[in-house]
Amino acid sequence: MSRGARPDRTRRRLLAGAVAVGCGVVWRPALALSEVLSGTLRGYTGGAPTREGKVNFDIAPLVENGNTVPITVTVDSPMTAADHVQAIAVFNEKNPQREVIACKLTPRMGRASVSTRIRLATTQQLVAVARLSDGSHWTQTVDVVVTLAACIE
């Protein structure tokens, strides 16, 4: 029957649309690490492989004043003697120097979370890397747009 065919077509279109939206929401492309930062990370980890995850690098995606950018790096870890974060380091791509901060943590901290304020010379990529007590390295990479650059000259 011709009248019955219409609701089928609309339902089919609705289902196809829902599947497409569902796929779009789930798929999140990981940021490609720039070559500069890849090299810096290799130097820091001594060639050991790094994996994305566990690290939450909290920094504003758009920064008004590059002279003081608040950042917080938190690592998902129980911080017990057997399983804790040993070190957290942050590297940048386009400042005159790659290193931003390198921290040593102990289980007596309770939470693997460090906050500070940093300078960013220009729009660039940053990476936070955490070394866990089992020797693994976890990273998170962020892209930051800087409106007013920190004075470097």
Partner 1 sequence: MARSLIHAPATARKGEVVEIRTLIAHPMETGYRAGADGRTLPRDIIRRFACRYNGEVVFSADLYPAISANPYLAFSVVADASGTLTFTWEGDNGFAQTESATITVS
| Contacts to partner 1 by CB under 8 A | 67-69, 72, 92, 95-97, 99-106, 108-111, 113-120, 151-153
107 CB-near residues (< 8 Å, 6+ apart): 79, 80, 81, 84
Least Å distance between CB 52 and partner 1? 22
Nearer to partner 1, 41 or 105 (CB): 105
Q: C-alpha 39: how far from its chain's center? A: 17
Nearer to partner 1, 109 or 142 (CB): 109
Least Å distance between CB 108 and partner 1? 5
Nearer to partner 1, 23 or 62 (CB): 62
User: Taking a C-beta distance cutoff of 8 angstroms, is the pair 125, 31 a contact?
Assistant: yes
Least Å distance between CB 25 and partner 1? 34
C-alpha–C-alpha distance, residues 145 and 82, integer Å? 39
C-alpha–C-alpha distance, residues 34 and 124, integer Å? 10
Closest CA to 37 of 114, 85, 86, 90: 90
Per DSSP, the three-state class of 121 is: coil
Nearer to partner 1, 10 or 97 (CB): 97
Least Å distance between CB 150 and partner 1? 8
